[in-house]
Chain A
Amino acid sequence: MFEIFGIPSQALFGQLLLGLINGSFYALLSLGLAVIFGMLNIINFTHGAQYMMGAFAAYFLLNGFDVVLPHFAATWPPTFTSVHIGVGLSYWWALILAPIIVGITGLIIEQVFLQHLRKLDPLYGLLLTFGLGLVIEGLFRNAYGSSGQPYQAPAALQGGRNLGFMFLPNYRAWVIVLSFAVCLVTWFAIERTRLGSHLRAATENPVLVRAFGFNVPRMVTLTYGFGVALAALAGVMAAPIYNVSPQMGSDLIIVVFAVVVIGGMGSILGAILTGFALGVIEGLTKVFYPEASNTVIFVIMAIVLLIRPAGLFGRRA
């Protein structure tokens, strides 16, 4: 145990770790927003709700869920029984299945709603996804109230290790490593592979890419699904750290918007780096000036807007 600037090392590194965890979520969520924005030219306001759906999907896969069924007898008023459907799939399954399930709901949203907005002002995409977010959050709040449901970290990742200068819980280390890996793979897939180059070309000039025989509308749909799946993955990872609650996404997404404004959505790598960096800065603020920890990211956003309006990694349109 030693001290840095009069702060015990435990507290300092503890907050730094928490900052990195928050940074992982900022990075994953702003990455998803950037990917979606690139192809669809809309800001996905439903992102926070989809992150929440990811966490709930993990919760349902583990604990099962209740389905209310009416009795098929000729009685009036009808009686209902609630049937518990238990699946009992562990965290590891949720890590794969939840993004797929929520991603599919994303595909449906794109097909039913968003594809009709392509020729309109981006403002309408904003309004529509905002409304969808309210609907989803409202439905979950109706069903599960405002209090959170606990979700256990998997047995293999419980406990922690003593690094000498701090105690490192295994699950938190795992979150940081996994989200960093997912970010890197996404960056590689978009910037360095053939598929990614098609995507980027379709972003630049959809008409031309379509003329080359690529199915651009399908690429757009799948991109939206992928961005949503990233949000859901972040939700699964967040479930054991924070409680699973209907409003877990709505406040977080506003901070992520600030992160996106700071980084600029021009570059994938920019979104990732800004996410992690701002998480760390927020963590450090909690140590040195806790009163400002809620607002520091917004203050940084204001400063960046004054100095570099296009964002740190953005290109001036």
Chain B
Amino acid sequence: MERALEPSVLARSRDTNWSLGVAFVVMVVVFAVGPFVVYPVFLMKALCFALFACAFNLLIGYGGLASFGHALFFGWASYVTAYTAKAWGWPPELAIVAGTATAAVLGVVAGGLAIRRQGIYFAMITLALSQMMYFFALEAKFTGGEDGIQGVPRGRLFGLFDLSHEMTMYVFVLVVFLAGFLVIYRIINSPFGEVLKAIRENEPRTISLGYKTERYKLVAFVLSATLSGLAGAMNALVFQLASLTDVHWTMSGDVLLMTLLGGLGTVFGPVVGAFIVIAMQNYLAPFGQWVLVIQGAIFVVCVLLFRRGMVGEVAQLLRVPL
């Protein structure tokens, strides 16, 4: 895997991470002003997907594990959240916890199976497992089949905040996104994260240094699945809907595209990528299947010309980590 940054850049910036701080402040300001400029629903969708892409990036960008099945965690968390909130009348915070926990459990099972093989097999296994769960979702009673679960109540958060109010919901989504983002940043920069990067660079050498790499990969997989689930749970509440689209393999392709376009293994890349892809899907929707063609073309161009992604290229240009 190509490094997001050359080692020389990393070495120079080791003690000055000012660029990350500046970028974070800019991001928070943009999101604070955002709902007064753009539709809040659009921003909330983009934030959910940004969290999804960041969680995905934790696995592919830092662990070097290319999963083609992350729709599994996103989609099933959104189903469970929608179902518990609607059919059992759970409050939003509990419904979200239930959805996220489901994703974590699925992450343990899918991750446990998938890390038994490396490289491209890993990609094929995750894709196949997620397709299996897609068929379960299609046939199971509680998911509502083709209709999905519609009209999910947003409820009152902790019994205090009425989430049916658009701005309250926006603040809630933003807080959850920022929390998830910081958790991921913390993971990347922890000793655990360093071992993960070592596995990405050279797994046999990491094993020879005495690390049980399988265990690290599994933990990374479960963390990524859990945070993807959190994103899916939030998405279900934002749109008050959980449907087959969320578990379909095209969703796994979308999150892959966001991460690749923004920059694999960069901190802010997935956020930028998510906003671009969501905006594209939003504004190009009238052109029907051309969205598919354009997305495919972006994959091809990114792989051939911009393997660092947009944020990765900027970081390389400015010689700072982003």
Chain B neighbourhood of A116, CB < 8 A: 304
Docked Cα-Cα span, A305 to B116, in Å, equals 7
Residues B127 and A142 in contact, CB atoms below 8 Å apart: no
A305: chain B residues at CB < 8 Å are: 113, 116-117, 125
Q: Which of A134, A135, A138, A309 interacts with B117 by CB under 8 Å?
A: A309
A3 beta carbon closer than 8 Å to chain B? no
Contact between A128 and B300 (Cβ–Cβ < 8 Å)? yes
Whether A134 contacts B292 by the Cβ 8 Å rule is yes
Which of A43, A121, A141, A260 sits near B292, CB closer than 8 Å?
A: A141
Return chain A residues, CB-CB under 8 Å to B128.
Answer: 254-255, 257-258, 261, 298, 301
Whether A317 touches B118, Cβ cut-off 8 Å, given contacts A121-B2, A138-B292, is: yes
CB distance from B302 to the nearest CB of A (A): 8
B118 touching A138 by the CB < 8 A rule? Answer: no
The one of A113, A295, A317 in contact with B300, judged by C-beta atoms closer than 8 angstroms, is A113
Interface stretch (choices B129-137, B148-156, B224-232) = B129-137
Q: When the two chains form their complex, are residues A127 and B303 in contact, meaning their CB atoms are under 8 A apart?
A: yes
A159 at the interface (CB under 8 A from B): no
Q: How far is the CA of A118 from the CA of B247 in the complex (A)?
A: 33
B2, B113, B117, B298: the one within 8 Å of A131 (CB) = B298
Tally of contact residues, A, Cβ under 8 A = 46
Cβ-defined partner of B289 (8 Å) among A138, A261, A298, A299 = A138
Q: Mark A279-317, 1 if CB is under 8 A from B, else 0.
A: 000000000000100110011011001100110000001
Closest chain B residue to A139, Cβ basis: B293
B296 touching A135 by the CB < 8 A rule? yes
Q: Contacts of A126 on B, CB cut-off 8 Å?
A: 66, 120, 123
The number of chain B residues touching the other chain, given as a range, is 35 or more
CB <8 Å contact, B298 and A295:
no
Interface check A117, CB cutoff 8 A: yes
- Among B118, B123, B129, contact of A302 (Cβ-Cβ < 8 Å): B129
Closest to A301 in B: B128
Assess A135 versus B293: contact at CB under 8 Å? Given A113-B300, A261-B125, A261-B128: yes
Q: Is B307 an interface residue (CB 8 A)?
A: yes
- Residues of chain A touching chain B, judged by Cβ–Cβ distance below 8 Å, are 37, 42-43, 113, 116-117, 120-124, 126-128, 130-139, 141-142, 250-251, 254-255, 257-258, 260-261, 291, 294-295, 298-299, 301-302, 305-306, 309-310, 317
18 sampled A-B residue pairs with Cβ under 8 A: A120-B307, A124-B303, A126-B123, A127-B303, A128-B303, A131-B295, A131-B303, A133-B296, A134-B299, A135-B297, A135-B300, A138-B290, A142-B288, A254-B128, A254-B131, A295-B135, A305-B125, A310-B117
